[in-house]
Amino acid sequence: MEVGKKVLYDRIEQRELPKRFQLCYCFFAFVTRFFTFISLFFPLLLLSLDGFCQPEGELGILGGMGYYMGEYNPNRHFDRSQRYLGGFCRYNLNNRFALRLNAGFSKIDIRERSLLSNGETVYPAGFHCTVKDVAAWIEFDFRSFGCRK
């Protein structure tokens, strides 16, 4: 009788979660992330009102996702995406021209893959790196050339 109970307990422990539970979890995760995004994005939209505009200089934050495309990941976009965080500083010279400087960083994470013809992996434990990005440019504003209503 004890052997039968042990087999029954082993079967219960090895059972996977039902699909309905997995779908509920995925839906809950989506809703949580959606409302988190909205609650962070909407106040930033309010900051773009005219009362908050700066006549000469502007500071801001950047955010998004970063990932690797290359030999290890030749065709799958957003594979193993990591956070991208950064900031920018823009100085308005006049109504037309502005100077802008961006700086940000992200991590890239590459799984182990065999690249060589004999099947040997180049980075057996994968590859992890922090990527830093700095860019500067001149902006030209076409807004005053707009169409009359």
Contact 110, 72 (CB under 8 A): yes
Q: pTM surpassing 0.75?
A: no
List pLDDT tens digits, range 88-143.
999 888 777 889 999 999 988 776 665 566 666 666 566 778 889 999 998 887 77
First-last CA distance in the chain:
87
- CA-to-CA distance for 34 and 47, rounded, in angstroms? 20
Contact 66, 81 (CB under 8 A): yes
H or E element: which one contains 109?
Answer: strand 97-110
Write phi, then psi, for 85 (nearest 5 degrees).
-125, 140
Q: Is the pLDDT of residue 38 over 70?
A: yes
Average pLDDT over residues 44-58: 64
